[in-house]
Amino acid sequence: MSDREEQRKHVHVACAIVERNGLVLSALRSASMNLPLRWEFPGGKIEPGEGREDCLKRELVEELGVEIEVGSPLTPATHSYPGFEVTLYPFLCRIVSGEVTLYEHSEARWLSPARMLELEWADADLPIILEYQQLRAGARG
């Protein structure tokens, strides 16, 4: 690996696939955020020494004011954006208390899994969405 690649910023992000009544929660990044106006799964950067599940629980309280239960992981996805790389660690989750309140995002929507790709997602999310759609299509048999 060259010095340049070693110095490239790589962020590790836990993200929540929050399910309720067969729908999944998506959140729109606000115009002031990095990757503005792209849809994403709520979550954020894992802090030093923090577990992925603990990160998710913290981020969901900070971003949306909800407490969640963290369930099974899906496959982590790594993506190169201009200027940085990200690895996303997705987990199936459900809300155990609180109402979704937008503290950082500009919009939130509950989507059916089959219609998720009608929105413009952050590029790194695409493999996660495809895996999730297969999982849920399989669950319906």
DSSP conformational letter for 82:
T
CB of 104 to ligand 8GT, least distance (A): 8
Tell which one of 23, 35, 61, 117 touches ligand 8GT (CB under 6 A).
Answer: 35
Q: Does residue 11 interact with ligand 8GT by CB under 6 A?
A: yes
The pair of three-digit structure tokens given for residue 26, joined into one six-digit string: 């998506």
- State how far the alpha carbon of 74 is from the alpha carbons of 37, 131, 134, in Å: 24, 8, 11
User: Which window, 10-18, 48-56, 112-120, 129-137, contacts ligand 8GT (CB under 6 A)?
Assistant: 10-18
- State how far the alpha carbon of 91 is from the alpha carbons of 32, 44, 49, in Å: 26, 13, 19
Question: Which residues, 73 to 132, sit near ligand 8GT by CB under 6 A?
Answer: 86, 88, 122, 124-125
CB of 43 to ligand 8GT, least distance (A): 4
Among 58, 65, 54, 72, residue whose Cα is nearest residue 97 = 65
Q: Which residues bind ligand 8GT (CB under 6 A)?
A: 11, 13, 15, 33-35, 40-41, 43-45, 86, 88, 122, 124-125
